[in-house]
Amino acid sequence: MKVLKFGGTSVGSADRIRNVADLITGRGQNIVVLSAMAGTTNTLVEISDYLYKHNVNGAKEIINDLERNYRRVVALLFTQVEIRMEADEEVEAVFSSIRSLARDSFTSFEEKEILAQGEMLSTKLMHLYLRQCGVNSGFLPALEYMRTDKNGEADMDLCIPSMSVQISISLAISAAPMIDAVRSEPPRRRLSTSPYALRHI
């Protein structure tokens, strides 16, 4: 099993997502880690900066622009109507979540949640695209195993054993390539703020 890491440029468009999908299928068992699509993290940082400055309207304009970009990617990437609708629903859910955090009372807690959305989106789109390609993929949220220490950082002593159990269970029920989403969330009941990842089997 290998760990394959793809940066934002590698998944920066519908065509590049297709290329990565081609690379990770048919290569045995792999853990695949995806960054946010190119430009997304910088845009989410910009949104957070606007909100720290209490410019909610300015932040919402940037949110709308970013959502339109993702809608275009979905339209280009998905040919099966049912899966495209599901992808649109995922995009809508993510951006509704971001909008719900766009308020004057903005803290580092909300910032962490906003910054997590880029990796979440690239992971979910890849997961759905593999499904469209007939690849048996699974989706394993990090909420199943991630924990943080008193400083809000990932506590690997707690994470690794639990993660190993979850991966073993997923491997047992998925015979073909799989995606793991290591979901980024703000600390909540000691859940971690870690980036998304993909596991391909």
Instruction: Provide the mean pLDDT of the chain.
Output: 79
What's the DSSP call for residue 155? -
* Model pTM score: 0.79
- The mean per-residue pLDDT over the stretch 171-197 comes to 38
pLDDT of residue 12: 94
Query: In the predicted model, is pLDDT for residue 40 greater than 70?
Result: yes
Pairing of strands 2-6, 198-200: unpaired
Query: In the predicted model, is pLDDT for residue 47 greater than 90?
Result: yes
- The mean per-residue pLDDT over the stretch 94-106 comes to 94
Report pLDDT digits (tens) over 53-78. Answer: 999 999 999 999 999 999 999 999 99
d(CA 201, CA 198): 10
Range scoring the smallest mean pLDDT among 20-34, 107-121, 144-158: 144-158
Residue 54: closest CA among 123, 104, 120: 104
